[in-house]
Homo-oligomer: A and B are copies of this chain.
Amino acid sequence: MDSDEYKQKIREKKVINDTWTKGKLVQLAGAFYDQFVSGVVPHVLMPSRTKRNLEYSDTSEVWVYGDIESERSAKTVKGAHQLLKTVYVSDFVVSEHLKNNRGSTLRELYYISEGWGPAKFGAQTESDRLIEDLEIITGAQREFFHIRPEEDGATMYGPIQIREETKRGARDIHCQQDIGEGGYQIPFNVENIEFVKHDASMIIAVETGGMYARLIENGFDEKYNAILVHLKGQPARSTRRIIRRMNTELNIPVAVFTDGDPWSYRIFSSIAYGAIKSAHLSEFMATPDAKFLGVQPSDIVEYELATDKLTEQDIAALRSELTDPRFESKYWKEQINLQLEIGKKAEQQAFAGKGLDFVTDTYLPSRLKDMGIL
């Protein structure tokens, strides 16, 4: 685990480059080599990725893995295969991706292993999981291995000028003046982005494309100097990472605007606190400062929004959130209990029932004042 070194670099704003990543992977290979030489069965220790091993970090204010460790070892045939695959992937990343400045998708990586004989993956879930292991072991992020997700595609729109370092050269893009109405397409690796200048006093992360388009059409980004980020449902890593970077590097407050149902509260919590599956990345991707804007269950009552009845799944999800440490605050307990009581949920686009301007003229300014952002 080298995340301390990584965090130090981030603090010093030093670039995490291919040389650094290569060093980490070669170091891992070196460790196996040393184990062989000293007659030790090759193995690697890493934090156990279970709910039991999740703990709250007071310093970084996110949920991270604790001290329980699990071992990958060549003691068993299965374990030996696992380490062989780890070495094959490391070699591929170093000698193809980092050396030639190339990349592959997670899916391609699975197919690439076709030619690896006994190190061939049986299914993509296996190679995906190994990449996560490699992230944990090296303290790097898969983006540094030049491993891409299959689909991406979140966009942003607002008063910020960025410089994206692409393979074809640097691109200077102002996210209002230089782009079409669709917005700026966030690339899969946002470490390639430098923030040139901005005039933003808030970031509004928006769940649905419909509301994102509404805020742009109504000029909310101009009137309130807001950077609008379209989450497209459960946000991709790149989306969470760029939100965190703008929040921590530029000190811009973040408000998350979703539908008013338990699944949307999880979208908020993945932005604010991270996800169990990727707790090793929380310190790079979560934004503990992020605040939940709405739709709150209390808004459903106050604004008499058009609603749907909670389904059984909704109710079960709300109950599970009541025992989830990430929702362990007076605010969330009140809101979730209220929602269980009224038995209803509402979408953010339900504000359209009050006219096309209600959400930007009335609801958002009022909520942002409550939250101390306006």
Contacts and interface: CB of A to CB of B under 8 A. Distances in A.
Interface of A: 96, 102-105, 107-109, 111-112, 114-115, 148-153, 155, 164, 166-168, 171, 173, 176-188, 192, 208-210, 213-214, 217, 232, 306, 347, 349-353, 356
A88 B176 CA distance: 35
A217 B352 CA distance: 42
A167 B217 contact: yes
Contacts of A173: 178-180
Given A111-B306, A353-B112, A209 B153 contact: yes
A356 B95 CA distance: 13
A356 B96 CA distance: 9
B182 A153 contact: yes
A52 to B, nearest CB: 35
A88 to B, nearest CB: 14
Contact of A213 (B96, B105, B232): B105
A182 B185 contact: yes
Contact of A108 (B153, B155, B210): B210
Contact of A150 (B108, B114, B209): B209
B111 A350 contact: yes
A360 to B, nearest CB: 12
A105 B349 contact: yes
Contacts of A104: 214, 352, 356
A105 B155 contact: no
B209 A152 contact: yes
A185 B178 contact: no
Contacts of A102: 217, 356
Contacts of A214: 104-105, 108
| 7 nearest A-B residue pairs (beta carbon) | A182-B185, A105-B210, A114-B353, A108-B352, A151-B209, A164-B180, A111-B352
